[in-house]
Amino acid sequence: MSLRKLNTLFWVSMALLASVSCKKDDDDEVLPSLNGNLSFEVAEFVNPGYLAEMTPTGIYHPEGKEIGYHWKVTPGMSKPDTTRYESGLSPDGKPSDGSFSYRFRDSLTTFTVSCYGFAKGYTSSYTSRYVTVVKPGLDGSLTGTGINADDRYITVDGIRYYYKKHNGLDWMRNNLATASYGAPYANADAAGEILGRFYSYEEAKNACPEGWRLPTDKEWRELAEQLNSDSKAEAYATIPGIAADFMADVSFNGDKMWEYWPQVGEITNKGKLAMIPAGYSNLGERSDKGTYPTASFFGAYEYAAFWTADAVKDENGMAYYRYLICDQPDMYAGKGDINTFGASVRCVREAE
């Protein structure tokens, strides 16, 4: 299931809940609500077999009494699982905070995790989260890259980075996923190895493996010109007509990532670099642990953004990046804040 479809599912679910609530209001006595807003935390993307442990928070009884909790995962569970009764006890008679554990199966699909808070004489509270099971590797969630198992690669921290020679440089064919820097999409570690991570410019300068580095804007332009002689551009200017040669007709869990647009034309992946629309990030403030807990993510299925090695000479704190847009035939140059803008990274090295 696509990243954008998750948002659509959310609003469809809300509409269905609203229709049910309206019907109940018409037919039955309207009950008072529990106080607060029910919530729980779970990763948006997980690997097959992941055991999620979720704890409900955010609601309380107006009279100070106990609240019970039901959980359900669909597809997967035929009926809800009660983890806490209004007595404050679990089904086996032990004190419970309502926590729920669920191990996601190996199916590469999106599950809906639902939680209900209930108390006698009150309307139940409800909330849900979508969890997508993903798998790294050539036989995993990302398909259609044009990368084969016998293509050249290096292995860093257990991750294979395939590469292709262009203009005397080896170019990485998949997005960098070095976990000691940056943030994975939706801050879900399982998405990092598949879509790559989003790095600040300051991190990107150090994130490439030993012997590899960020490509300069000039090297991006030379690459484009090699693939398409009409794709010539001045420094930091738009590179015309190159998008289809950079894009790969990839799918994420079976859903195509680059939507077809006539102005772009048929995707060729001529450079064999398999560029994917992972989007970009506003990283926010980096924590003492090196993470970005408040990071926000934008443009999945629409943008592919990659840092260059070039800082902006006349603007302190800014650096250049190159990006593609799903409905545009060209590659553009942008300027991003070196500490807060998060882009993908493709590393290069002098060809062996």
| 128 & 174 share domain | no
Dihedral, 149, 150, 153, 158 alpha carbons, nearest 10: 40
| Helix, strand, or coil (residue 144) | coil
| 291 & 163 share domain | yes
- Contact present, 242 and 185 (Cβ < 8 Å): no
State both tokens at 37: 């807003």
| 107 & 151 share domain | no
| 309 & 162 share domain | yes
Residue that finishes a domain, picked among 74, 103, 133: 133
pTM, full prediction:
0.89
| 255 & 128 share domain | no
State both tokens at 317: 């704190």
| 90 & 165 share domain | no
| 158 & 120 share domain | no
What pLDDT, in 10s, does the model give residues 196-214?
999 999 999 999 999 999 9
What pLDDT, in 10s, does the model give residues 336-349?
999 999 999 999 99
Distance of CA 232 to the CA centre of its chain: 33
Residue that finishes a domain, picked among 133, 164, 195: 133
| 298 & 165 share domain | yes
| 235 & 343 share domain | yes
* 124-130: long-range contacts, CB 8 A cutoff, minimum separation 24: 124/34, 125/33, 125/34, 125/36, 125/37, 125/38, 125/59, 126/17, 126/38, 127/37, 127/38, 127/39, 127/40, 128/13, 129/40, 129/42, 129/44, 130/6, 130/9, 130/10, 130/44
At 327, phi and psi to the nearest 5?
A: -110, 20
What is the reported pLDDT for 17? 43
What is the reported pLDDT for 29? 75
Question: Number of folded domains in the chain?
Answer: 2
Instruction: Tell whether the model's pLDDT for residue 22 goes beyond 90.
Output: no
Among candidate residues 119, 141, 19, the one with its CA nearest the CA of residue 69: 119
| 313 & 189 share domain | yes
State both tokens at 322: 């190159």
Bond preceding residue 75 cis, omega within 30 of 0: yes
Residue that finishes a domain, picked among 133, 157, 180: 133
Task: Quote the DSSP letter at residue 1.
Answer: -
CATH of the domain at 113: 2.60.40.10
What is the reported pLDDT for 6? 55
What pLDDT, in 10s, does the model give residues 285-305?
999 999 999 999 999 999 999
For the chain, the C-alpha Rg in angstroms (whole number) is 24
Confidence of residue 307 (pLDDT cuts 50, 70, 90): very high
| 184 & 103 share domain | no
Which residues pair with residue 101 across a beta bridge? 53
What is the reported pLDDT for 27? 54
| 260 & 156 share domain | yes
Distance of CA 213 to the CA centre of its chain: 24
> Which domain covers residue 7, as residue numbers?
3-133
